[in-house]
A and B are shown apart, each in its own frame.
Chain A
Amino acid sequence: MQSLKKTQWIGLKTIIRKEITRFSRIWMQTLLPPAITMSLYFILFSTILGPRIGEMAGFDYIQFIAPGIIMMSVITNSYSNVVSSFFGAKFQRHIEEILVAPVSNEIILLGYVVGGVCRGIAIGFLVTLVALFFTDLSIHSYTVTFAVVLLTSTLFSLCGFLNAVFARSFDDISIVPTFILAPMTYLGGVFYSVDLLPSFWYQVSLFNPILYMVNAFRYGMLGHSDINVTYALLAIVTFVVLLTIICLDILKRGTGLRT
């Protein structure tokens, strides 16, 4: 009998391959729409509204919002990849293929999260390419940029996983993205500097985790952030650790998966 580590490693590769194949196969639904939507943002803000708004924090408006738009697409796509794939597997019951096999809970979670991260990064890359048609982008800190993309897509993949585990219908997987994720993203400093906000709303914004991700990523690309980047990175890491513990505990209990 082969070693347990090898079994788990092959199990992990299988889940990741399956996830990447899934979103690549349906690229018309997964890769193309965000690229088109984000292109529309860039067209709107670079040619029509941007020049009227002027500069933001010392940058052209389109340059200022580009990192936020990239981060917004990473967040929504990491989340939606895991939530739709895992809930789909639950709905069609083929998640049972993995649950009856000797794949550990850690590997199941890691496999789906890596799938979400891969889609998030793929979309992030596509949107960056689109952005380059409209503005000049340079990277101020490669380490911060890649760390933020990786951690943020991991965090929202975990969120998607959690949503999928508790969801009982397709309505349940659209509630969080529509009513929670979208408002938090739009109010997370993607399109504006929080320094512009009145004191009360500034304080309220500090409770929005997406603000930290957008600003940390903006720092990575432009070298500018409304908030302390170290705090932002620490906050993201803390959320990732916390959600990983919660997801593993839920898998161990079998909530939503085993009766």
Chain B
Amino acid sequence: MIFNPPALQMTNLRKTYRGRVTALRGVSLTVQEGDFFALLGPNGAGKSTAIGIISSLVLKTAGEIKIFGVDVDKEFSQAKSLIGVVPQEINFNQFETVNDIILNQAGYYGIDRPDAQKRAEKILKQTQLWDRRDEISRNLSGGMKRRLMISRALIHEPRLLILDEPTAGVDIEVRRSMWKFLTDLNKSGTTIILTTHYLEEAESLCRNIAIIDKGEIVENTSMQLLLRKLGAESFIFDCTSSISTLSKLGDHQIRKLDDHRFEVTVNQGENLNTVFEELSKSGIKIQSMRNKSNRLEELFLGLVAESA
């Protein structure tokens, strides 16, 4: 049997900054190869510190990190070659062209120019930046800048890609196209770790999740199991006729959103059959129905509140 080391293995990671602020209090985390993993947490929880330590921009106080079994402290060069990092803030040279940024990054990873140029063409075409390759980077739009950061992080074909809030501040269209790109990348074998504030993003993309708060992991499980923990689920109904006379649907309390829309909360063990039956009796036709998308948000807030 072949043993595959995890893509990331953090053991008892601690970080105390000089001002005596403790950002990480013994975080241990394992991300398996091929996973699409979400690292969630409120502002100041320690997500960016953890990513900073993995990418060597932050010096750890204690602990151990292995990337595909390679110890970051002992074999730093090999370990770094396995990781690609997309930071939260724009951090490329605003006076260089898109192509130069990518080629320079390839050079820092020991990729010679002819090979780097071929890779740059491939990745920039994938991220739809090839036509802008000679553009000075500061002239790019916000979405393009994000895509440039992803292209740069992928130029050395890392086996583990870490993205710190990659879709922060980009519009829905760009966000959706980035989601598709990342999903395809994960399917092709790249392990992805994502931190995000968009819980919908984590729910849509990730298979496993860890929630970090005040420098500690408060939850580490699969997305499916985590969502199952929810005691109740909310649905929003869009109706073709007015619901002004509606006050209750069987045993379910409803919350009217407007004259044609209402929200129903279904507790664990209950079903929606009675809701449909009552609506039929009242002659109200349903145009559409959808999950309320903040399920994870509710759970997240619950977990963070528990750890407070």
Say whether A6 faces chain B, with CB atoms less than 8 Å apart: yes
Say whether A96 faces chain B, with CB atoms less than 8 Å apart: yes
Could you tell me if B56 and A94 are in contact, using CB atoms closer than 8 angstroms?
Answer: no
Residues from chain B with Cβ under 8 Å of A104 in the complex: 77
| Residues of chain A from 221 to 252 with CB closer than 8 A to chain B in the complex | none
Distance in Å from the Cβ of B46 to the closest Cβ of chain A?
Answer: 13
Say whether A33 faces chain B, with CB atoms less than 8 Å apart: no
Closest chain B residue, CB of each to CB of A5: B110
Asked, given contacts A11-B108, A89-B93, whether A100 binds B55 with beta carbons under 8 Å apart, the answer is yes
Could you tell me if B81 and A1 are in contact, using CB atoms closer than 8 angstroms?
Answer: yes
Asked, given contacts A100-B80, A101-B105, A259-B58, whether A7 binds B110 with beta carbons under 8 Å apart, the answer is yes
Could you tell me if B108 and A97 are in contact, using CB atoms closer than 8 angstroms?
Answer: yes
Say whether A182 faces chain B, with CB atoms less than 8 Å apart: no
Residues from chain A with Cβ under 8 Å of B87 in the complex: 96
Question: When the two chains form the complex, which single residue of B17, B55, B89, B107 contacts A10, counting CB atoms closer than 8 Å?
Answer: B107
Closest chain B residue, CB of each to CB of A25: B95
Could you tell me if B59 and A97 are in contact, using CB atoms closer than 8 angstroms?
Answer: no
Could you tell me if B110 and A100 are in contact, using CB atoms closer than 8 angstroms?
Answer: no
Could you tell me if A100 and B56 are in contact, using CB atoms closer than 8 angstroms?
Answer: yes
Contact with A along B98-112 (1 / 0, CB 8 A): 001100110111111
Question: When the two chains form the complex, which single residue of B77, B81, B83, B91 contacts A97, counting CB atoms closer than 8 Å?
Answer: B91
Say whether B172 faces chain A, with CB atoms less than 8 Å apart: no
Residues from chain B with Cβ under 8 Å of A96 in the complex: 57, 87, 91
Contact with B along A88-113 (1 / 0, CB 8 A): 01001110111111111000000000
Bound Cα distance from A96 to B48, whole angstroms: 14
Say whether B128 faces chain A, with CB atoms less than 8 Å apart: no
Distance in Å from the Cβ of B225 to the closest Cβ of chain A?
Answer: 33
Residues from chain A with Cβ under 8 Å of B107 in the complex: 10-11, 13-15, 17
Could you tell me if A97 and B152 are in contact, using CB atoms closer than 8 angstroms?
Answer: yes
Distance in Å from the Cβ of A24 to the closest Cβ of chain B?
Answer: 13
Could you tell me if B17 and A259 are in contact, using CB atoms closer than 8 angstroms?
Answer: yes
Contact with B along A1-31 (1 / 0, CB 8 A): 1101011111101110110010000000000
Closest chain A residue, CB of each to CB of B152: A97
Could you tell me if B108 and A14 are in contact, using CB atoms closer than 8 angstroms?
Answer: yes
Question: When the two chains form the complex, which single residue of B55, B105, B110 contacts A2, counting CB atoms closer than 8 Å?
Answer: B110
Bound Cα distance from A21 to B97, whole angstroms: 12
Closest chain A residue, CB of each to CB of B83: A100
Say whether B143 faces chain A, with CB atoms less than 8 Å apart: no
Could you tell me if A258 and B58 are in contact, using CB atoms closer than 8 angstroms?
Answer: yes
Closest chain B residue, CB of each to CB of A2: B110
Could you tell me if A10 and B91 are in contact, using CB atoms closer than 8 angstroms?
Answer: no
Residues from chain A with Cβ under 8 Å of B104 in the complex: 14, 18, 97
Residues from chain A with Cβ under 8 Å of B181 in the complex: none
Residues from chain B with Cβ under 8 Å of A99 in the complex: 56-57
Bound Cα distance from A98 to B92, whole angstroms: 11
Bound Cα distance from A99 to B57, whole angstroms: 7
Closest chain A residue, CB of each to CB of B90: A93
Question: When the two chains form the complex, which single residue of A11, A94, A254, A258 contacts B110, counting CB atoms closer than 8 Å?
Answer: A11
Closest chain B residue, CB of each to CB of A13: B107
Distance in Å from the Cβ of B105 to the closest Cβ of chain A?
Answer: 6
Residues from chain A with Cβ under 8 Å of B91 in the complex: 92-94, 96-97
Residues from chain B with Cβ under 8 Å of A7 in the complex: 77, 81, 109-110
Say whether B78 faces chain A, with CB atoms less than 8 Å apart: yes
Most buried by B among A6, A9, A101: A101
Distance in Å from the Cβ of B226 to the closest Cβ of chain A?
Answer: 31
Residues from chain B with Cβ under 8 Å of A101 in the complex: 80, 105, 108-109
Distance in Å from the Cβ of A99 to the closest Cβ of chain B?
Answer: 6
Bound Cα distance from A100 to B54, whole angstroms: 9
Bound Cα distance from A254 to B89, whole angstroms: 20
Closest chain B residue, CB of each to CB of A4: B77
Closest chain A residue, CB of each to CB of B153: A100
Closest chain B residue, CB of each to CB of A6: B110
Most buried by A among B55, B87, B91: B91
Could you tell me if B57 and A258 are in contact, using CB atoms closer than 8 angstroms?
Answer: yes
Residues from chain A with Cβ under 8 Å of B58 in the complex: 258-259
Question: When the two chains form the complex, which single residue of B59, B100, B152 contacts A259, counting CB atoms closer than 8 Å?
Answer: B59
Most buried by B among A9, A258, A259: A259
25 contacts between A and B (CB under 8 A): A7-B77, A7-B109, A10-B107, A10-B111, A10-B112, A14-B107, A14-B108, A15-B108, A17-B107, A18-B100, A18-B104, A92-B92, A93-B89, A94-B93, A97-B101, A97-B104, A99-B56, A99-B57, A102-B76, A102-B110, A104-B77, A258-B58, A259-B17, A259-B52, A259-B57
List 8 tightest A-B contacts by C-beta distance, closest first: A14-B107, A7-B110, A101-B108, A102-B77, A93-B91, A102-B80, A94-B93, A10-B110
- Beyond A96-B91, A102-B80, A259-B52, 4 additional contacts (C-beta under 8 Å) are A8-B110, A14-B107, A15-B107, A102-B109
The interface of chain B, by Cβ under 8 A from chain A, is 17, 52, 55-59, 76-78, 80-81, 83, 85, 87, 89, 91-94, 100-101, 104-105, 107-112, 152
